[in-house]
A = this chain, B = another copy of it.
Amino acid sequence: MKTDIEISQAATMAPITEIANKVGFSPDSIEQYGQYKAKIPFETIKAKDSEPSGKLILVTSINPTPAGEGKSTVSIGLADGLNRIGAKTSLALREPSLGPVMGVKGGATGGGYAQVVPMEDINLHFTGDMHAITTANNALSALIDNHMQQGNALQIDARRVIWKRVVDLNDRALRQIVVGLGGPMQGVPREDGFDITVASEIMAILCLADSIHDLKRRLGAIVIGYTYQKEPITVSDLQVEGALALLLKDALKPNLVQTLEGTPAFVHGGPFANIAHGCNSVMATKLALHASEFVVTEAGFGADLGAEKFLDIKVPVLGKAPDAIVIVATIRALKMHGGLPKNELAQEDIASLKEGYANLQRHIRNMQRYQIPVVVALNEFVTDTEAEFQTLVDLCQADQVEIRRCAVWAQGGAGGEELAQAIVEITAGNGTTNYQRLYQDDASIEEKTAAIVKKIYGGKQVTFSQKATKQIQSFKQYGWDELPICMAKTQYSFSDDPTKLGAPTDFDVTIREFVPKLGAGFLVALTGDVMTMPGLPKRPAALNMDVTDDGQAIGLF
């Protein structure tokens, strides 16, 4: 059996000009980055603005388990499948972060015969977006520390700087650090730390901004910390939003690549789905919609995290709700949600499957609550039995939801045609859904948080720590209480306890602390321990990586 990188390196890619042509861009209207990557400049985007919008398909999943769900693979295979049955389709996906690639993952561009390529480039530096974000983030840190060093006119309290530095790597030693040591010429000593780049507010901003103008406005609104009088200080106060926007001007342009089957793929932006909203950029999604009949996009982690944020945070900015939602599940993962241990997943086990279906069922009902049609995509594994499949079909039928098998890993787009057909049928019609938001922005912070915890997670109630309660009061004073809530919660469970699989009930969720993200335009509610800087494993994927003398990558997968 071929590995992902072998499949990808054996593929014959079309020149990116040809892919661009499929979505109506002439060679002169794109910025090529090598033969197989391009950025789409602002003039080209503007010229597409008047085109009608295609249909938007959001791919999400059950709560992830170590058994694997394959959400990206299904998204890619579905898009290829749609093109195969004659629906002009593009992808709008997130960019991988180098940290996990060098750490555990080894790559994040789909798998098998459902991949976006060139996978080596996309997994490594791609068109430099991550690096631009890292640089802008750290330039802001340097400017903050320099401001304190050079007289501190804004009276920044070094103990209350909330802006952290970033690297796009897994580096636990940088989680908690002390900077500015070495005496008065080396800066103001203070506690600091590095997050991974995809956790930077600037990443979230890049993904929500719809123009350079909006980018600059959002950058200016970032709260970097507080004065000695506890008044918030923004980037505008430092007068550096222009410089930061300048560093990001090219990163804001959507990237274009292709799938193994030549489907245009806009791969752009990749905010963490815990501390941020976990979806690709508004710029790319909008552009893809104006350039295609169907756009397949994806949200991070399970539907309780990524899809909820897509629907409640991204959709209002995008101005367009999904026309259908695909929930990816695997029989293996459902059996795990039903209590079967990881080493027994290869065995048929109808009872565990039925038990674990509760997880899928709650996600289905949650998505239906938004008044958007739902299809379940069963991502097939060789160990699945026909009896298990039939059980799942029966369960879905009882819940009146469509389910389709998917064999895109092994077969590419051909294995996604059945799902594609269902999507075309379910979205046929005048093209608007009755999308309903979960909450309105003018509800109180407590109400909005409770709506998510009770209606989406299935929790009993939400409690706020003393700190969070105090923050709610000051946020009202600052006028920040009309922002949506971005939950930071474990992806493994509906609850804030990663060990509670399936569909737990009767649990409370505690909000430990809020983090204001005024530039992104949301308030992060922290539950449990949120990891914003991963560590490397005992044997990092990097140890398997190499490059041949003629420049071919080895060890990405």
Which residues of A line the B interface, CB within 8 A?
Answer: 31-35, 39, 41-43, 98, 102, 121, 124-125, 128, 131-132, 134-135, 138-139, 141-143, 145-146, 149-151, 167-182, 185-188, 211-213, 216, 239-240, 242-243, 245-247, 249-250, 535-536, 538, 540, 542-543, 545-551, 553-555
Contacts and interface: CB of A to CB of B under 8 A. Distances in A.
A186 B533 CA distance: 10
B213 A188 contact: no
Nearest 5 A/B pairs, CB to CB: A242-B546, A131-B131, A173-B187, A176-B182, A145-B173
A134 B171 CA distance: 14
Contacts of A171: 138, 141-142, 145-146
Contact of A131 (B125, B141, B172, B551): B125
Q: Is the interface of A mostly helix, strand, loop or mixed?
A: mixed
A251 to B, nearest CB: 8
21 contacts: A31-B34, A32-B33, A33-B33, A34-B39, A135-B169, A138-B169, A141-B173, A142-B169, A142-B174, A143-B540, A149-B173, A150-B536, A150-B538, A172-B186, A173-B186, A173-B187, A175-B186, A178-B181, A243-B543, A246-B553, A249-B553
A184 to B, nearest CB: 11
Contact of A139 (B102, B180, B242): B102
A33 B547 CA distance: 22
A55 to B, nearest CB: 30
A550 B121 CA distance: 28
Contact of A188 (B41, B173, B188, B548): B173
B98 A135 contact: yes
Contacts of A34: 31-33, 39
Contact of A142 (B31, B33, B188, B536): B536
Contacts of A245: 546-547
Contacts of A33: 31-34
A546 B212 CA distance: 11
A549 B249 CA distance: 10
Contacts of A538: 150-151
Nearest to A175: B186
A144 B246 CA distance: 34
Contacts of A242: 545-547, 554-555
B177 A551 contact: no
A547 B246 contact: yes
Given A242-B546, A551-B42, A181 B172 contact: no
Given A102-B142, A138-B167, A139-B542, 7 more contacts: A131-B135, A145-B173, A146-B536, A149-B173, A172-B180, A173-B179, A174-B179
A174 B211 CA distance: 33
Nearest to A36: B31
Contacts of A246: 124, 545-547, 553-555
